[in-house]
A and B are shown apart, each in its own frame.
Chain A
Amino acid sequence: MRRGMRQLARMAQRSPGRAGPLARVADRMPSGQGPRWLRAVLFIAAVMYPLVFGTGGITQLLEQIFTFGALAMSYDLLLGYTGILSFGHAMFFGTGAYAVAIGLNQGDGRLEGLLVGLAAGIAGSLVLSGIVAFLSLRVREAYFAMITLAVGQVLGVLAGSQALRAVTNAGDGLTVPVPDLLSGNLTLYDMCLALLALTAWALGRLVHSPVGDVLAAIRENAARAKSLGHPVVRFQTFVFAVSGVIATLAGAAFALAQSFVNTTVYDVAGVSLNVLLMVVIGGAGTLYGGLLGAALLLTAQTWFASVAGGAPWLREYMLAFGILYIVVVRFMPKGILGAFLHRRGHGRWRKSSDCKTSQI
């Protein structure tokens, strides 16, 4: 799996000359230049699509795929690259969405409102990630999962609470007045695509930098990384913050693209678990797996919704996803891209350093 991961990390790097020493293992992979070529074609196709076919249902779906793809890739940085499990990624996504929505509402749809909102959202997310990391990373892995879940849920309840109706419009949600500069479907479409491209570039660079090597060390054997002198908690906090900021941007883009925000952006099942599902299905630790998962799930979701008229139970796609999710975790822990890329079988989640030998 390591090889494929590096392969993808290298793909994400524009200049091949910059491929560092860790990429050497990947260099021997047979698949070579194919994926990079594919990536360029997909990018150009994504840019061209609305120019050729115009905007409509499909571009709306694509906008969602781009924003959720960026969100899923930021989540993969946590789960796949650093090996920490969060059930509350919605706390950042929702904060970004609400910050932009509130900023634009208070600023009467002017660009300044957007910028102030965005800045406030990013600052809020940084503070949030710092607090959550401080509370939970010192203890044990499970605490991080529990506390992220709790904090995410609390924010959702706050956003819907009557006490904050003046700014959040409580449970009714906010309509987002899109600034003139961004109005027009194509601009928003391009913005979402730009966010995705930027995320892919930044994350590719991050996981391939020396910091990325340290993250891999933490994922493989955190105790050893610490005993070698790496400040593990500091790195985990940093990754959590980076991932949070990207998720905040994704939330902001989502709010603009939908021009409406309500408490569902903080939803555990709808966002936190959905994005987890995307990464797990696509393949954790592959960077682009999350994007693949987002594309599959969102397409399926749209399809379910469109055929649900005749069969209302199809609206319950969350149930189907839940079952799918259990099946994937249980039987296909590498995910689609992971299984495709990695022929050599090392368990993904297993920390093979401390092999369990007991047969009880």
Chain B
Amino acid sequence: MSVALTLLLNGLANSALYFLMASGLTLIFGLLRVVNFAHGGFFVWGAYTGTFLASALHNLAASIAGGAAVGVLLGWLVERGLMRRLYGDATQQLLITMGVLMVLSELVRLIFGPNPISAPAPTSLGRSWVVNGVPLVAYEGFVILFGAAVFAILQGVLRGTRLGALIRAGVSNPELLAARGIPVRRVFTAVFAIGAGLAALAGGLSGPWFGAVTPDMGMDMQLTAFVIVVLGGLGSVGGSLLGSLVVGITTAIVSYFAPSLAVLAGVVVMALVLVVRPHGLMGQREVA
């Protein structure tokens, strides 16, 4: 029983990080119709910036915020500099975003070296308790709460604000949005930057969660995020929450019993779902 609870908490913390990645990916796809292969690059920059700032400032909030800010900035630059000229050309966009991932990961390797850098949790969140045999780690709780808060804020923004209405409108018909006098390109840039910021946020949180940051973690996280959006249905925020929960908890369980197979778990679950529902759990068939 206590093992199950431990695994559940562990899985929820995974899910929270995954959700930050996947929701950005899915938002960007929903609006811009681009699968952003550079997402892992934003993640890894968030992770390294966060770790660097944490060791320099010893302030959790500042380091996470700094990581996210770097992500937003990178996203803004990539959208403005590269993506903007290629809308409507899906293959070339995929190729470009892949190139961006390559460059961002290699830059990290160049600046910080190829070896893992340890990223301890801040002392305020380094504590843990054992309650009824279940170890409760403060940082784990923090990550879960953070993920839940981001989900709530995202939903709130999408449902209740003008920006949210613009994003939803843009998802269904960007041209009509332009005809209503909205500078759609700017909404595109904003969403790309927000998505990149969410990925970097996930990066900043995951340094202390994994205990270390490595240049390859971007690619690994990216793959998990892809599994999740394919599983949940590309373009659906609800789907990425569901997918994150499934993959996060499955990963926690499988890595407890068979650590070396953990990476297989998500892909196998995704494959099973795709056999039954080719468009994912909450995805919708593209309207012709």
Contacts and interface: CB of A to CB of B under 8 A. Distances in A.
Whether A and B touch directly in their complex, counting CB atoms under 8 A apart, is answered as: yes
A87 to B, nearest CB: 7
Interface string B20-38: 0000000001000001010
Interface string B254-288: 00001011011001001100110011000000100
A269 B260 contact: no
B94 to A, nearest CB: 6
B174 A85 contact: no
Interface string A213-253: 00000000000000000000000000000000000000000
A58 B88 CA distance: 44
Nearest to A147: B230
A321 B278 CA distance: 35
Mostly, the A contact residues are helix
B98 A273 contact: yes
Contacts of A349: 89, 91-92
A58 B174 CA distance: 55
A163 B95 contact: no
Contact of B37 (A83, A87, A154, A318): A87
Interface stretch (A27-35, A62-70, A325-333): A325-333
Given A319-B106, A360-B184, A330 B227 contact: no
A150 B226 contact: yes
B271 A131 contact: yes
Contact of A85 (B91, B175, B270, B279): B91
Interface string B107-146: 1011000000000000000000000000000000000000
Contact of A358 (B100, B175, B223, B267): B175
B103 to A, nearest CB: 4
A322 interface: yes
Nearest to A320: B106
A269 B102 contact: yes
Nearest to A350: B89
Contacts of A150: 223, 226-227, 267, 270
Contacts of A161: 260-261
B39 to A, nearest CB: 11
Given A150-B223, A158-B264, A325-B102, A142 B90 contact: yes
B167 interface: no
Contacts, number: 124
B234 interface: yes
Given A316-B106, A319-B107, A326-B99, A154 B271 contact: no
A19 interface: no
Interface string A249-263: 000000000000000
A36 B107 CA distance: 42
Interface stretch (A133-141, A189-197, A300-308): A133-141
Given A325-B99, A360-B175, A140 B286 contact: yes
B154 interface: no
Contacts of B279: 139
Contacts of B258: 163
Nearest to A333: B92
Contacts of B227: 150
A142 B95 CA distance: 11
Interface in B169-223: 174-175, 177-178, 184-185, 219-220, 223
Nearest to A145: B94
Contacts of B166: none
23 contacts: A85-B95, A135-B271, A135-B274, A136-B274, A141-B90, A142-B90, A145-B37, A149-B37, A153-B220, A153-B223, A163-B258, A163-B261, A313-B110, A316-B110, A318-B106, A325-B99, A325-B102, A326-B99, A329-B96, A330-B82, A330-B85, A330-B96, A360-B174
Given A163-B258, A276-B95, A316-B109, 11 more contacts: A141-B91, A145-B37, A150-B270, A164-B260, A268-B219, A269-B102, A273-B98, A276-B98, A323-B103, A326-B100, A347-B89
The 7 closest A-B pairs by CB, nearest first: A356-B88, A322-B102, A319-B106, A161-B260, A326-B99, A322-B103, A142-B35
Interface of B: 29, 35, 37, 82, 85-92, 94-96, 98-100, 102-103, 105-107, 109-110, 174-175, 177-178, 184-185, 219-220, 223, 226-227, 229-230, 234, 258, 260-261, 263-264, 267, 270-271, 274-275, 278-279, 286
Interface of A: 83, 85, 87, 131, 134-136, 138-143, 145-147, 149-151, 153-154, 157-158, 161-164, 268-269, 273, 276, 280, 313, 316, 318-319, 321-323, 325-326, 329-330, 333, 347, 349-350, 356, 358, 360
